[in-house]
Structure 1
């Protein structure tokens, strides 16, 4: 069963993904997420950037739907479904790391194999749909203080968020502050 910490941090991400605010994740919510992110990037329909972001976001939807409902008897995912998946992630670190690498590639807009503060801000604004000052949080995530997140740093942070339960882990902030 998900801890209170996991519930709090996952609830914030769930709410950001739930574009229509109905308490359920559906394919249309992930399409809205894709649309926000491609708009922030200025990725035109038919461009390589648009295709890449669409593939990541809609692939995440397909994966979430499959793992949260193995019988595939529905097309909606609840917060409780997501928390049940999170419960299993602690023993699936290779899967979480693989997801981190996929997300890293989506966030790394210029493909220089690092995430800049501006690219991180785009990720958060794509997620939430609102302009957000991320400088303070980025500094907390940047473990070596070099002003960028490497693929390895991002994978650790992503794993701390999705599979971790330590209240002191910097990765808890990868999607920003949570209640």
Structure 2
């Protein structure tokens, strides 16, 4: 009998373009809430606290605790994905991770990161839990990350591919995938975290 080992499907090698590097650098700056040049647990927890305040939740409520837990978990998962034992990430670590994943010939961590992060973003942005993100929900959430409202609206319109004035979970996945994978400066999803150019 022959071996039943499965083969890994290999993709053509991609090049990490200057456009992708600029987008990834921009996202690092968006996430670095305290602007100290490192991504640390407090950056993510502070975003959670801002969301709790924006939703006018009691800090000791179950909903508030869940938001804070999810925010912290996103950072822990990021450390896991980047195989980083430290409690902080530098810009160099961040850019190197995305470069390595984009240039990898195999399906891998980046695909899982995009799926997981899309779900997390969607859950946070969908404030009324109707499984859709409205223009207001999107703009309100991006103000937490200090992104101007006009840039947020532009990003929303890019993500709303079917133009129904809502972003679905699938549209979020496609947009985030384009953000990381596309070298096209005009790709839909490039403005998901505001203007980077």
Same-fold call, TM > 0.5?
Answer: yes
* CA RMSD across the alignment: 2.1
Among candidates 149, 171, 188, match of residue 132 of structure 1: 149
With the length of structure 1 as denominator, give the TM-score of the two structures: 0.85
Among candidates 129, 133, 136, match of residue 111 of structure 1: 129
With the length of structure 2 as denominator, give the TM-score of the two structures: 0.78
Question: 2:96 maps to which residue?
Answer: 84
Question: 1:177 maps to which residue?
Answer: 195
Question: 1:19 maps to which residue?
Answer: 33
Q: How many residue pairs end up in the alignment?
A: 176
For 2:84 and 2:89, locate their aligned partners in 1 and report how far apart those are by CA, in whole Å.
13
Specify the structure having the higher radius of gyration (Cα).
2
Unaligned runs of 5+ in 2: 1-14
Unaligned runs of 5+ in 1: none
Please state which structure has a larger fraction of its residues in helix.
1
Secondary structure (helix, strand or coil) at the match of 1:170 reads coil
Aligned CA distance change for structure 1 residues 55 and 163 (closer, same or farther; 3 Å):
farther
For 1:14 and 1:171, locate their aligned partners in 2 and report how far apart those are by CA, in whole Å.
16
Question: 2:70 maps to which residue?
Answer: 56
Question: 2:60 maps to which residue?
Answer: 46
Aligned CA distance change for structure 1 residues 131 and 87 (closer, same or farther; 3 Å):
closer
